[in-house]
Structures are given as C-alpha cells and as structure tokens.
Structure 1
Amino acid sequence: MLYSDLTEAIGHTPMIELRRLNPNPAVRIFAKLEGFNPTGSLKDRIVKYMIERAEASGELTPDKILLEPTSGNTGISLGMFAKIKGYPLRVVMPDNVSSERRELLHAFGVEVFLSPGSEGTNGAIRMAQKMLKEDDRHFMLDQYGNPNNVLAHYETTAGEILEDLKGTVDSIDLFIAGLGTGGTLMGAGRRLKEAFPNMKITAVQPYPKGGLQGLRSLMDGYVPPIFDMSRIDVNEVVKDEDAFRMVKKLAEVEGILGGISSGAVVHRALKAAERMENGVIVTILPDGGWKYLSEQIWTDDVSTVSERFTGPMW
C-alpha cells in the first residue's frame, strides 16, 4: 500500500484471539496488537490527533519547539512526527528507561533531558513543566491533560475493535487496559461501553513504586487530568513478577513479542477468564517487546529481572 508518509500508516492494527493461553474455553480473549503501529506503540494514535488538532487550532505554529515528558513511547512517536513535520523536539524522561528508547529518540534527532529515575514520570512531568515556564518557544501537547488523547482512542482504537469483531461476537463483556495517561481507558472504554452497556471496564496498574514501564499507580500521587475513576468498574493491581512472567509466556506460547505493560494486561485477562462462566474479553497490548530486548526479560529468570526493575519506571 502506498502512503505519502508514515503518519498515514497509523492504526488498523491486528486483533488476535489468545487461544493457547486462555484457561477457559467458554471465554474468548481478544488482544489488539498496538506494537504494529509505525513506531511500535499506540502512542502514534494520540500524537497524530494531538498534533493535527493543535495545528488546526493555530496553537502549534512552525516557530514552536515541541516539549513533552514521557517514559519513551510518546517521545519516540513525537520523534517521527517532528521529523516529518519539521518541528524541533525536546523530551524529558526518567533516566532508567530502556536503552532502546533512548537510542530511538537519538536516531530521530530528539534532544533528551533526563529526570531522576527514582521519581518516575512524575519527576519528568515536573521538569518539563519548569522548562515550559522558562521558555515561551516551548509547546507541550500534554498527553496527560489533552482531551484529544481520549478522542483518538474513542474514534480509532475502539472504532477498529468494533469493526474487527463485527460478525465474530455479539457482545463484549470485559474491556481490560493498562493505566498510563488514562487515554485508552477513557476513550476506547467509553466507546465500547456505548456499544455494549453491560460491559465492564478494568484498569490495570502496578503496585506503588513498581517497575512496570508504561503503567502508573495512582497511589504514587499523580492522577492524570483526563482520567475519571468513576468510569472504571474494576481496578486491578499487578505485581512486577506476574507481568514479566506473562511477557515471556506471550512469546513462548502465542508467538507474540509484547512489551512489559502487555504482560500486565494479559495476566489480568487470564485471571478474569478463570472467574467467568462464559463471555468475551478484549484487551489492548500497548507496544512491542523489541523496545525492551536490552532488559533481558526473555533470557533471564523472572526474579532476576524483577530485581533490576526497582523503583518507578514511569
């Protein structure tokens, strides 16, 4: 298929039924593989929406410098967009994210500022907000507070899920997604619940100070402005070890190389399936595992990996 640039290749990611890992034959589990987006994560969707709407409103002009706090995926997506559209980009990220993420940002020519890893993404947010105040050339898309983050998932992610499953299932009983910015849960969750009012929405988060890159614990003290807890039916917490174990199983059993947060949401999906008599579960695998190869998740034992991932990664 011919595209004018990579921004046109965003979305329409595969939806896979997890048959081999599924513990309950009366329940069907479907996973949308967002690692198939151009830069390997669902963040391509929200960056496209946020940039295009900021340009259309006149807020984002050619003289601006894009600035964003991120654990990596949003920054990598912004790196692609910045090159295509001609914006300089500065990214603030914790100093303990995977080396692949830093290298990808450098490949796009992004100027990277490192915040203390012990402070997680909360520290990156604080540093970016300080930089924003100090230089009026900066323009922050603010993925944590931007309603277009939610809209991207409402219109594209959920829209694709409904189209993917049309004629395959009559309803969705449970939607499970990780809690990062809250955009996926708020956007895709709302659209799917409009289609299936009896569907439950489950938010997956790590334990406080956990080491699951891409997920955040609300107990760490920061609630994204776009996130509304009242829209969540079930709140599940996942141990680091369980997420890492499931990342390995996804590759070994289903042939899917998913990222760390993918392991967390699939772990909860399988636990939910064990408790259900029957039904349909849909979950989102936010990114691909190739961004985490240096962490040796697939080669080392789970306890060794967990020891390396100490402190908040997001």
Structure 2
Amino acid sequence: MEYKNTILDAVGNTPLVRLNKVVPAGGATVLAKCEFMNPAGSVKDRMAMYIIQEAEKRGELRPGGTIVENTSGNTGLGVAMAAAVKGYKAVFTMPDKMSLEKINMLKSFGAEVIITPTDVPGDSPDHYVNVAKRVAQERNAFYLNQYHNALNIEAHERLTGPEIWRQTEGKVDAVVAGAGTGGTISGIGRYLKSINAHTRVVGVDILGSVHYHYFYTGTLPTAYVYKVEGIGEDIKCDAFDPKAIDEMRQVDDYQSFHMARRLVREEGLFCGGSSGSAAHVAVELAAEMGPGKTIVVILPDSGTRYITKFLADSWMRDHGFLEPERGLGLVEDVLKGMSREVVSAREDEPVGAVVDRMRSAGVSQVPVLDGASVPRLIVHEIDVLRGLQSGKISSQSPIRAVANPIGGLVYPKARVEELYPIFNQDKVAVVVDASKLVGIIAQIDLIEYLSRRGR
C-alpha cells in the first residue's frame, strides 16, 4: 500500500504546469509551480514545517508547547496544520485587511487569531509583527519569526530550489516569484545560482511595498496600503536577500487581480492574487526572452482564500477593478474634466524649488516620487510652513523631510464613491495607473464634476 503517515508528509513535490493561454505566441515556455497544491494550500507549508522541525531538534519547541507567529494567513495555515498534527497550541496575529476565509480557516484548525490594524507604521506597537513578539514573550511561547528567520531562506534553498532543478532537468533559464518575507525567492535563487550562475532570478513586489525600492536603493521608502495579500511588506525583512536576486519588478493591484482571474478562468489554476502578481511579470518576461527559453513562476497560494474578495465581481467593482454597473461614474471621468497639469516632485528636490513649482501651478499639494518615479509621499503647503516655522527645514532641505505618506491612493477605474472616505479624512486622492502618477483629485474637483453632471 502507498500512503503517508500524516498529512505533513504530503508537503512539497508540487507539479509544474505549462501556461498556454495567457502567454503570448512566440514567447518563452512558462511553467507554473503549483504551490497552492500543498496540503494547507500554499508555499508557506514548506517553510512552516522546516522551521518547526528545526526548533524541535534544537529543543526550542517541546511537546504541548505554543507557537506564535505574525501572518498574512498562509504561514499561519501551514503552522496551524502542523500544530494540529503534533499537538501544539497556535496563536496568530493578522492585519485586518486579510480575508475572512483565512481567519476562519485558521480557527478551524483550533488556532487563536488576534486581528490588528493594517494602516499602522512598522514601528507601531499595534503592528502585527510587534504584537506577535509581545504575545510570544508574555506566553513563553516559540516565536516562528518568519520575517527575520534565516531558516525561512534555508527551507527553500534545501527543498524548493532542488525540486525545481530536478523537475526541469536543469533546463530552467529564469525563475519568478513574489516577495513577501522574501524567503521563497531568496532561497530558490541561492540554490539555482549555486548550480548555474546564469539562471535569471526575478523577484516581484507590489506597489505600496518596500522591497522594490530597497532592492535598488538600499533605503526604505514609506509604505502604503495595497489590496493584494501575501506579497510585499512595510518593513525590512532579514529573510529577503538581495544578493540572491538579479532584478525586482513591480506590479499593482489591478495587474495582479486581473492576471489571477485569467489564471483561474483560462488556465484552470485556482490560485490567489499574489499568483497573479508573479504571473504578470512571468508573462512579460516570456515575451522578452522569446522561444527556446524556460521560465518557472511560483504560484504561492490557493483561490479558496479569496472567494469573497478578488474572485467576486462585486468586490472587484467596489474597489475599482471592474467597470461599475451604476453610480456616479469613474475616477477617470473626474480626471477628464480637469485641465490643470499634474505637478510632482522628486524626493531629493530642494524645498525652495518645489514651493516655486507649486506657486507657478497654483496647487497646494504635490506627490513626491521615488527614484523609480513611483508616488510614495505627499507634501502640503501647511507641511512646508510648519517645517520652516519650526526651523526643521530650510529652502535647501530635501522635500522628503516634510512629506507624509499618501493617505488616499486610487486607480482610474475606481468608482467615484471611493473618493468619499479619502475626503472625509481631509486628504486628496492620488491617482496611479501601472504604478505611475496620472492625477490628483481634491474635493473641489469632485464638486465641479458632480455639478457638471447635474447632481
């Protein structure tokens, strides 16, 4: 008889499946590594099992013990599955943007789930990572620490990387994977580079996360909220090893969700939104590399976590990712009626130069772009005034010294109704398309738009 002693023995050895319909003709072969077929539904099963086994070997985790971890859901599910089999207690902290499906799945394994606010800085005591550290200390529990645990990288260097090499018989020209903690792409990259230095390792980050900017500049930008789960981060992660990666590419929510839906509907791969992020880049890369090359793309988790989110048309419409059925129109409709130029500043520009530009354009706020021309911050007249008055800055100081995180980020296809929560906080809406700034909408712009519509 052929069987596994426990479900934990079924982790790994996920199949490679060729993508046929989403890859353009004449492109490279793209093989999807179906990590959503792991028993708890994601690539994180590998890392969770590996770290737990190492902790047991080292005596850091004993029978009947408690495991605490901060998670976007996937690592938690892998840990919760292992805890159920091995008899451990499990406690998880999660940001409140995560899907209800993930929360209920964790609880179904018998885990305790602590929900924390999403829109807080990485150094806040309410940030889900810091809450997990505090809970682990209070309960004398084993803290998995996936973001800063070297074993996260090691798990994929010893397990996932060799598996890809074996399955492709060494004929892999590039590998593409999203970066959350960074452990998956870093571990796979380390292994493949050690075997063939010419293998191209491409990491994928989501607009709003810090990885892309950190990879190219070595500095941490201000992060802001994005919708895709299981990719990106707002803190520096020790499990993210830039030396194992050749390049980083950035995608946005819109690109990620639409590609993920295509994978489900055209390829029959029931995967999550971050799979769309990685696949979007893999398809771009396939067109660039051309025929005769092979790309492996990691599809990290299952669509079962997102039934009520991006897989639901109503959710996609509500968040501006599909055309609305009715309402006040789209953000792009508001932009069409605006005649003023879009003014921005580079983060290293002197305050004086930015103020001159604001005066000439007749605007009271400007978005601040990073080195890749991605809007990261925003500065208002009052910010400059307070900085000069307090002596914090001079006219020669870089504008980033008085800039603040963007409070309201929307896409052109978002419903006009999405602007109201932004304006209720006395903020302006910064409109981006494919990670680039396309407009700024203030309350007066919406008033003029609605007046023209006769509302």
Whether TM-score is above 0.5 comes out as: yes
Corresponding residue number in structure 2 for 1:294: 308
Corresponding residue number in structure 2 for 1:105: 106
Corresponding residue number in structure 2 for 1:49: 50
Structure 1 residue 146: deviation in Å? 1.7
Give runs of ≥4 in structure 1 deviating > 4 Å: 300-303, 305-308
Structure 1 residue 242: deviation in Å? 0.4
2:272 to 259, 262, 268: 259
Measure the CA separation in 2 of the matches of 1:210 and 1:96.
Answer: 9
The letter for the 2-side match of 1:190 is R
Corresponding residue number in structure 2 for 1:131: 135
Query: Superposed, which structure 2 residues align to 1:54-203 within 5 Å?
Result: 54-119=55-120, 123-135=127-139, 137-166=140-169, 171-203=171-203
- Contact 2:263–2:270 at 8 Å: present in 1 too? yes
Could you state the TM-score of these two structures normalised by the residue count of structure 1?
0.90
Corresponding residue number in structure 2 for 1:275: 288
Could you state the TM-score of these two structures normalised by the residue count of structure 2?
0.63
* Greater Rg over alpha carbons, structure: 2
Q: Mark the CA change 1:120 to 1:155 in structure 2 (over 3 Å): closer, same or farther.
A: farther
* Larger RCO (CA under 8 A, 6+ residues apart): 1
Structure 1 residue 50: deviation in Å? 0.4
Q: Mark the CA change 1:301 to 1:171 in structure 2 (over 3 Å): closer, same or farther.
A: same
Structure 1 residue 63: deviation in Å? 4.8
Equivalent residues, number: 303
Measure the CA separation in 2 of the matches of 1:228 and 1:8.
Answer: 28
Q: Mark the CA change 1:32 to 1:120 in structure 2 (over 3 Å): closer, same or farther.
A: farther
- Contact 1:94–1:120 at 8 Å: present in 2 too? no
Corresponding residue number in structure 1 for 2:231: 215
Check if 1:242 corresponds to 2:255: yes
Corresponding residue number in structure 2 for 1:232: 245
Structure 1 residue 149: deviation in Å? 1.5
Among all aligned residue pairs of Structure 1 and Structure 2, give the percentage whose two residues are the same amino acid: 34
Corresponding residue number in structure 1 for 2:404: none
Measure the CA separation in 2 of the matches of 1:227 and 1:163.
Answer: 24
The letter for the 2-side match of 1:185 is I
Gaps of 5+ in 2: 209-224, 323-407, 410-455
Gaps of 5+ in 1: none
DSSP 3-state at the match of 1:118: coil
Structure 1 residue 120: deviation in Å? 8.3
Measure the CA separation in 1 of the matches of 2:313 and 2:21.
Answer: 21
Measure the CA separation in 2 of the matches of 1:231 and 1:306.
Answer: 36
- Contact 1:269–1:283 at 8 Å: present in 2 too? yes
DSSP 3-state at the match of 2:114: strand
Corresponding residue number in structure 1 for 2:422: none
Structure 1 residue 130: deviation in Å? 2.0
Cα displacement string for residues 161-184 of structure 1 (whole angstroms, at most 9, x for unaligned residues)? 112112xxx632221100011111
Q: Considering fraction of residues, name the structure with more helix.
A: 1
- Contact 1:250–1:258 at 8 Å: present in 2 too? yes
The letter for the 2-side match of 1:162 is W
Structure 1 residue 121: deviation in Å? 8.2
Measure the CA separation in 1 of the matches of 2:321 and 2:261.
Answer: 16
Q: Mark the CA change 1:153 to 1:121 in structure 2 (over 3 Å): closer, same or farther.
A: farther
| Root-mean-square deviation over aligned CA pairs | 2.1
Structure 1 residue 307: deviation in Å? 6.6
